Amino acid sequence: MSEDKLTVLDHPLLQHKISLMRDKNTGSKEFRELTAEVALLMTYEAARDLPLKQVEIETPVAIAKTNVITGRKVALIPILRAGLGMVDGAVSLIPAAKVGHVGICRNADRKGVTDYYCKLPFDIKERDVIVMDLMLATGGCAVAAIDKIKKSGANSIKFMAVIACPEGVRALRENHPDVEIYCGALDDGLNEDLYIVPGFGDGGDRIFGTK
C-alpha cells in the first residue's frame, strides 16, 4: 500500500516475519535475526528508485547492454538503540553504504527528547540517506534525528521503521514533509505508556534482551 509519502510494505515474507516478531514468546536471538531479515527486505524496497546507468559488459557469449547503480551513494543511519538491530540486514544488501549513528532518547517526563550522540559520514550531502528505527511511535525521536541529519547537509532522506502508527506518521509528515516513510505495518496507535498497540513491546529490550 502506498499513500502520499507513506509506503506500507505488504510482501508476504515481510508480513510473516513481523508476525513472528510480535509474538511475546519470541526470544531475543530470534527477534534479532528477524529484525535483520526484515530490514534487508525493507531496504530492498526503499532502494527501488536508486538511479541506474547502462554499461556494456562482455559475457561469455556476447556484449550485454546492462544496468549498474550510478550517481549518488547511500548512507544508512540507525537511531540508537533499537535502530542498530536493522543495520546488518541493510548493509548486507548495500555493502558500500556508509553507516552513521544518531543517539536520541525520550525524556523521562515523556515530553521531549534528548540527543546524546551523532556521528555522520563526512560526505552526507552527496548521499541518499536511509534513517532507520525499529518503531515510529510518537515520532519525537525520528523528527529530532532528521533535524540533526538535515543540519549536517543531507537533502535526500527516507525513513524506515518496522512498525509505525498514525501519530508518528503525522508528526513526521508535519515536520519533514519531504521524507518518504517505509514501514512493514501501520498499527492502531499509542497507549498511555506511549507503546505502539499492538506493536511488539519495547524494541530495544526485545533485540538486546535487556528485560
Under the rule (CB under 6 A), what is the footprint of ligand URA? 82, 135, 137, 195-196, 199, 202-204
* Closer Cβ to ligand URA, 84 or 137, answer by number: 137
* Closer Cβ to ligand URA, 42 or 124, answer by number: 42
Shortest distance in whole angstroms from residue 156 CB to ligand URA: 26
* Closer Cβ to ligand URA, 75 or 84, answer by number: 84
Grid cell for residue 178: 519531504
Shortest distance in whole angstroms from residue 73 CB to ligand URA: 30
Is-contact 20 26, C-beta < 8 A?
yes
- Residue (of 210, 203, 211) closest to 86 by Cα position: 203
* Closer Cβ to ligand URA, 126 or 202, answer by number: 202
- Residue (of 82, 48, 47) closest to 163 by Cα position: 82
Shortest distance in whole angstroms from residue 64 CB to ligand URA: 47
Beta bridge partners of 103: 80, 117
* Closer Cβ to ligand URA, 78 or 203, answer by number: 203
Query: Would the CA dihedral through 90, 13, 27, 8 be positive or negative?
Result: positive
Shortest distance in whole angstroms from residue 27 CB to ligand URA: 17
